[in-house]
Amino acid sequence: MKANQNLLPSDKKRKRIIKTKLKTNPKYGKKPDERETKELLNNGLINLDKPCGPTSHQVDAWLKDIFKNDKVGHSGTLDPNATGVLPIAIGDATKALHALLSAGKEYIGIMKLHKQVDEKKIITTCKKFIGSISQVPPVRSAVKRVKRKRHIYYLDVIEIKEREVLFRVGCESGTYIRTLCVDIGKKLNCKAHLEELRRTRVGNLSEEKSYNLQDIKDSYYFWKENYSSESIRSVVMPMENITAHLPKIVVRDSAVDALCHGANLALPGVTEVDSDIKKGEMIAILTLKGEIVALATTTMITEDIIDKDKGVCAKLERVLMKKGTYPSIWKKS
């Protein structure tokens, strides 16, 4: 059971508000969990438990070979020696991976202090890093080494054994835990470094429901040899899971194809909307069957989306559904 303060942005609870009650036409589209296995393997998400040793890009290459698909990518690179949750997208689902950047991440690590420090001082100092912090990426990073701000949602000291500190941290995407340990060491007036690191969560993806490479390879083999599709369907999730943490707007069937052609979302197309949506927030636009249509940025808050009848409520960022999945009713009007 998590403490109340140990929450990532993905843990925020929202209510679905019905603006107009409508039914969907069963002739078009398909509920995500009703897709055929081949469809799933070209629009899927895997919650991979990355092993120690390979780089994240090497893992991508192995999965490309397993699935015989060149479109495989990950979200949130883990160092070779780090283990844990590595979200992997297959096929067209790679287009949605950047949505996970706003989900938040959790790690458990061991920080090694270079000299003995009082336990109370360690705990007090770690608490000071909760909130907004500034970091300079480490020398061996793939990004430009300039100071940038990141948010630490929680930082708990689990156990201290001599100079080793076992900790749990929830943080914004792009936070360097190695750098965090170095900065904590400076505050303690002793050097410190990251000894071990495991990622336990990326948004709603947790280590408890992750799969290793052998699990994935075996599941794919069983399916290809016509033994069973059940195992591969448990390993590969619909791409909609990438956007599970995002607020949602649900649209009527007649609005879907216009969005697939790049039209921004106008209020007449909205049938349901999540609570507490703010302006400028990334959202997922869904069909009444729960299919992801597109990622978009809101131009209105929830209350305005519900109360108003005219205007654009969201500007499209990326279309994820293929054109023609729903009929082009909008062209006739």
Which pLDDT score is estimated for 146? 82
Query: 165, 169, 204, 205: which is closest to 6 by C-alpha?
Result: 169
According to DSSP, residue 166 is labeled: E
Tell me the sheet residues that pair with 150: 133
143, pLDDT greater than 70: no
Q: With pLDDT > 70 as the criterion, what percentage of the chain qualifies? A: 96
- The CATH class of the 35-101+205-238 domain is alpha beta
pLDDT in tens, 157-166: 999 999 999 9
CATH 2.30.130.10 segments of the chain: 15-30+246-331
| Alpha carbons 296 and 97: distance in angstroms, whole number | 14
pLDDT band at 332; cut points 50, 70, 90:
very low
Mean pLDDT of the chain: 94
Which residues have C-beta within 8 Å of that of residue 292, sequence separation ≥ 6? 96, 239, 240, 243, 284, 285, 286, 320, 321
Catalytic residue among 60, 79, 257, 274: 79
Half-sphere exposure of 215 (CA within 13 A, CB side): 17
% of the chain residues with pLDDT over 90: 90
φ, ψ at 92 (rounded to 5°):
-65, -15
Among candidates 194, 130, 132, 208, which has minimal Cα distance to 165?
194
**Options 3.40.50.300, 3.90.1150.10, 3.40.50.850, 3.30.70.3190; which CATH number does 105-200 get?**
3.30.70.3190
Question: 15-30+246-331 domain in CATH 3.30.565.10?
Answer: no
Mean pLDDT in residue range 266-276:
97
Is 79 designated active site? yes
Q: Where in the chain is the domain with CATH 3.30.2350.10?
A: 35-101+205-238
pLDDT at 154: 97
CATH 3.30.70.3190 intervals, the chain = 105-200
- Report pLDDT for 140: 67
Tens of pLDDT along 88-142?
Answer: 999 999 999 999 999 999 999 999 999 999 999 999 999 999 999 999 877 666 6
Amino acid at site 289 = K
Question: What secondary structure, in 3-state letters, does 274-286 show?
Answer: ECCCCCCCEEEEE
